[in-house]
Amino acid sequence: MEKTLKIGFVTPYLSTGGAERAFLNIANAFYDDGMNVQIVAASVVESTLSQLPKGMKLIDLQHANPLDSPSFIKNTKALKRYLTSEKPDVVISTSDYLNIALIAARFLSGSTCKIIVSQQVHVGSYLKELRRPNRMLIQFIQSMVARKADAIIGASQGVVNDFIERYPAASRSGKMSTIYNPVYEEKIPVMAAEPIADDSFNHTGIKLITVGRLVKQKDQVTLLKAFKLVLSTLPDAKLYIIGIGAEEATLLKTARELDIMKKVVFLGYKENPYAYVARADLFVLSSEYEGFGNVVVEALATGTNVVSTNCPSGPAEILNNGEFGFLCPVGDAAKLSETICYALQHKISSGILHNRAREFSKTSVAKQYLQRVISLCR
């Protein structure tokens, strides 16, 4: 009788973010397939516990900030204890800072477990945002991952190409491969059909929508500038922004300066964004960069047409270079405005979009991850 593999999923935050949901989708699929699955989290958001199947073991490292030095030491010690006591066959990790702690913990514990790193970020774009000390630290961590991890899985081909270019060691012996995130779930179309009890969304004209953290990476400032231009052609349009984040004050200020506050609605966080996206005429992503772009797949799953910047990396791969959506240059408000107006006149059928979204399902992606796990354990 074959041994049941024990697989640990290590994450900095067990929360409701897109990357975290994709991570949990893989863990849940492994669990459903009979694997002995454990979630190891540096910090846990209480509301996410309901997403774990009954019987799946959760190990909370209880370190609120896994990024600072004391927490790195604590996480290394905690992960060493985990590897020693639980003896997992494979550990899958998704965080730069926990990746290096895990590699150190394996060395200190003498564990023979295999380490798979899920690379979600386009490193080249991410490094540009960092100050020199942090940039050097991330470069060191990634170079260690390239050498010491047993396998590295990139969330898009763009992520893989960028990582290998920077860290050639990752290309040796087929160590690095591309597996897209498991985003599509059958519940998305169901939730999309739920009614909306929100008077602010009763607009009868054209509705544009975006969903995401309000951070510089998402570049909603360019979206606001593009929307100002859209209004000169489509004065009955409204833009709805779902999300919260550090850039909210900047975006409100920009909307006021552009004199479009009456046309822009900041909806904040929504438990069910799909119902809003499904009722919009167009979903718009204005990011400077993505690792994959889960929200693009989610929009397709609701049957709503998508306009996205052709950013590194992910969206162009999801949309197959324009076959399933509309692409425009990064940071160009005029081109984004033109593309929005064009997309509204040349919509792709919702059935085609939904079928494309299904290609990124939990089941198909988990099978690819499982094949990678099994190949390492032979």
Whether residue 156 is contained in a domain is answered as yes
One domain for residues 30 and 155: yes
One domain for residues 67 and 51: yes
One domain for residues 23 and 143: yes
One domain for residues 173 and 47: yes
One domain for residues 347 and 206: yes
**What average pLDDT does this structure show over 295-318?**
97
One domain for residues 133 and 10: yes
**What average pLDDT does this structure show over 101-110?**
94
One domain for residues 32 and 63: yes
Q: What is the mean pLDDT of the chain?
A: 90
**Per residue in 239-280, pLDDT tens?**
999 999 999 999 999 999 999 999 999 999 999 999 999 999
The pLDDT, as a whole number, for residue 259 is 98
pLDDT at 69 over 70: no
One domain for residues 88 and 237: no
Give the domain range for residue 262.
187-358
Whether residue 117 is contained in a domain is answered as yes
One domain for residues 164 and 198: no
**Per residue in 342-366, pLDDT tens?**
999 999 999 999 999 999 998 899 9
Count of domains in the chain?
Answer: 2
One domain for residues 156 and 297: no
CATH of residue 136's domain is: 3.40.50.2000
Whether residue 1 is contained in a domain is answered as no
In SS3 terms, the chain reads as CCCCCEEEEEEEEECCCHHHHHHHHHHHHHHHCCCEEEEEEEEECHHHHHHCCCCCEEEECCCCCCCCHHHHHHHHHHHHHHHHHHCCCEEEECCHHHHHHHHHHHHHHCCCCEEEEEECCCHHHHHHHCCHHHHHHHHHHHHHHHHHCCEEEECCHHHHHHHHHHCHHHHHHHCEEECCCCCECCHHHHHHCCCCCCHHHCCCCCEEEEECCCCHHHCHHHHHHHHHHHHHHCCCCEEEEECCCCCHHHHHHHHHHCCCHHHEEEEECCCCHHHHHHCCCEEEECCCCCCCCHHHHHHHHCCCCEEEECCCCCHHHHCHHHCCCEEECCCCHHHHHHHHHHHHHCCCCHHHHHHHHHCCEHHHHHHHHHHHHHHHHC
One domain for residues 197 and 48: no
Whether residue 142 is contained in a domain is answered as yes
Whether residue 221 is contained in a domain is answered as yes
pTM of this prediction exceeds 0.95: no
One domain for residues 195 and 103: no
Highest mean pLDDT among 71-80, 168-177, 189-198: 189-198
The pLDDT, as a whole number, for residue 110 is 96
**What average pLDDT does this structure show over 180-189?**
93
